[in-house]
Structure 1
């Protein structure tokens, strides 16, 4: 008989990128999420910046709402490692993350020099120990580090971890694409968080279209063709999952809370489906490979 292990379910900041963290806590709580991810550094020049540095009014308000609702912060984001010295960027991020109680900081690899990227991540990982935060390298389908195999190899050398985003997992079509499922299972021990979204099987035809899809055109988990049940089943049963599914159109139609509730329903349905398909005795098979 299988044990009913609680799996924390979160709401990623990108799903409601224009919702400030204090309000995001409230929306997440009303929609039934356990935690949120927070952008402590904007990714694009047009994004609204959120000042969550120690001593800031927004940090105080966010912490107050977390205490009131029980919603926690598990991960912070986002830094694109491009080969330059970005220590002055990641240290304040880690300070904010520590204040929020986060344990991971998501980064992506835009540096085509893998040896230099390993060095950067190793240095970042060492800095993170003082804040209780571990960098998690995300494979992005349109960046130099695009596959699970690449991300895992770099992370093992640097001593950090990887985060898996189902959009980029399914959009990768480079060398070794057919082995993505095998790589996911083989590196499950590196994964602290699975980000869920959905979409059509067909890959957008240009890098620009991939970026648009990634930032503003994702679908509710379970309503597309990504095979999310298989992704969930490939990883340990208690692994936290996060809904990362931005959709400018549907947020405008449904409102922030309406969209968050739709995402939560989608994630719950995927997890329930995965639970019914999981065979007894295989709950931790992925982690043991």
Structure 2
């Protein structure tokens, strides 16, 4: 089968600097990366968008390697109106070539959740960016259905979803539910695998998502169905933070992720069989 374009998510190499990640991704054959450009409200850590020298180094690394910045990480929504603080980060992300920003939503009040999401979409649209809701069981948008309902209620052309194989399964979702989402509203797909046991609470789910995933084919997630529910040759972002891989250098780890992912994808059914699987997932 023709392998989809692969992107390396920043969370896969959490200890690497942005430039280290870019060069590691390039050496491993990834076409693009994601970077954490924006801070969280109240976060004391200096985000990339607040480091002019860091931005220059990232720009140079992208140009030198030909690697693209596919998405610029998340805007965390849990208090201040997004446009009151995130415009500089959106500007930097867009200037580096990002196409998409992630909305990670913790706002509990339903009307403010919608208002803030629409505000972010409007702000991002000024920079030519799409906004993809990342649903997760430990957020205020826990399921793919809830994310799509928010996108529909917002009714802005740059509003969509990122579908993460781990979050889909851990939230009780299925490939059939994913297949019900219009393809044009699925902006990103994140691939990983996971252990059999589901964490029992929100903090455990968050910790698993950020530190304890597995490479594709090394766990139990129904990834064949997941990939089959995506549009043909849909780009895949590898988001595989793995505590077992912590001692491995960024370059070696990027090579490992790429090799294992390509091997997994090479074992998938031919495209015509995948299409049959996808059709069988339709209601």
**Scaled by the length of structure 1, what TM-score is found?**
0.87
Tell me how far apart the structure 1 counterparts of residues 113 and 76 of structure 2 sit (CA, whole Å): 11
Q: Measure how far apart 1:207 and its partner are.
A: 2.1
- CA offsets per residue over residues 79-121 of structure 1, 9 Å max, x none? 2212432323321221111111001100122122223222211
Relative distance call for 1:239 and 1:58 in structure 2 (3 A) is same
Tell me how far apart the structure 2 counterparts of residues 30 and 117 of structure 1 sit (CA, whole Å): 40
Tell me how far apart the structure 2 counterparts of residues 263 and 255 of structure 1 sit (CA, whole Å): 12
SS in structure 2 at match of 1:274 = coil
1:8 and 2:8 matched: no
In the alignment, is the contact (CA less than 8 A) between 1:138 and 1:164 conserved in 2? yes
In the alignment, is the contact (CA less than 8 A) between 2:120 and 2:131 conserved in 1? yes
Q: Measure how far apart 1:211 and its partner are.
A: 1.8
SS in structure 1 at match of 2:48 = coil
SS in structure 1 at match of 2:104 = strand
- Higher deviation after alignment, 185-194 or 78-87: 78-87
Q: Measure how far apart 1:251 and its partner are.
A: 2.7
Q: Give 1:217's aligned residue.
A: 212
Q: Measure how far apart 1:279 and its partner are.
A: 2.4
Q: Give 2:163's aligned residue.
A: 164
Match of 1:75 among 71, 76, 92: 71
Q: Give 2:54's aligned residue.
A: 58
Q: Give 2:25's aligned residue.
A: 28
Q: Measure how far apart 1:238 and its partner are.
A: 2.3
Residue pairs, 1:250-261, within 5 angstroms: 250-252=245-247, 254-261=248-255
Q: Measure how far apart 1:208 and its partner are.
A: 2.1
**Scaled by the length of structure 2, what TM-score is found?**
0.89
Residue correspondences, number:
278
Q: Measure how far apart 1:276 and its partner are.
A: 2.5
- CA offsets per residue over residues 28-87 of structure 1, 9 Å max, x none? 00111000001012459889644235x811111111111111101010112221243232
Match of 2:261 among 251, 256, 267: 267
Match of 1:18 among 11, 15, 19: 15
Residue pairs, 1:1-289, within 5 angstroms: 4=2, 7-42=4-39, 49-52=46-49, 56-158=52-154, 159=156, 160-173=159-172, 177=173, 180-187=174-181, 188-252=183-247, 254-276=248-270, 278-279=272-273
Tell me how far apart the structure 2 counterparts of residues 142 and 20 of structure 1 sit (CA, whole Å): 27
In the alignment, is the contact (CA less than 8 A) between 1:114 and 1:154 conserved in 2? no
Relative distance call for 1:10 and 1:280 in structure 2 (3 A) is closer
SS in structure 1 at match of 2:84 = helix
Tell me how far apart the structure 2 counterparts of residues 44 and 222 of structure 1 sit (CA, whole Å): 36
Aligned-residue Cα RMSD (Å) equals 2.6
- Higher deviation after alignment, 64-73 or 78-87: 78-87
In the alignment, is the contact (CA less than 8 A) between 1:229 and 1:270 conserved in 2? no
In the alignment, is the contact (CA less than 8 A) between 1:164 and 1:191 conserved in 2? yes
SS in structure 2 at match of 1:23 = helix
